[in-house]
Amino acid sequence: MLENVLLIISVLLIAIVLLQGNKATDSNGIITGGNQELFQNMKERGAELFISRLTLVLGILFFIVSYILFLF
């Protein structure tokens, strides 16, 4: 039963992570010094905020279910 829950959570987690915006391209200017927006306070809004929070919740659930399966 818990194995199936873990499988569903892991597939959802992979899908949600792939849906997130690519923030690595924004950090390319760190080495070259060309990224002026690096330290600006940029807040997530709308769907991006929902996806970030869903990723956090699914990650926490993944570790909790994995730990429970480890104990039993």
CA Rg value for the chain:
17
Q: What confidence tens digit (pLDDT) does each residue in 18-31 have?
A: 988 766 555 555 56
Residues above pLDDT 90, as percent of the chain: 56
| Average pLDDT score over residue span 60-72 | 96
DSSP characters for 7-50? HHHHHHHHHHHHHS---TGGGGHHHHT--TTTTS-----THHHH
| pLDDT higher at 48 or 68 | 68
The model carries a pTM of 0.73
d(CA 38, CA 29): 8
Q: What confidence tens digit (pLDDT) does each residue in 36-63 have?
A: 555 666 677 888 889 999 999 999 999 9
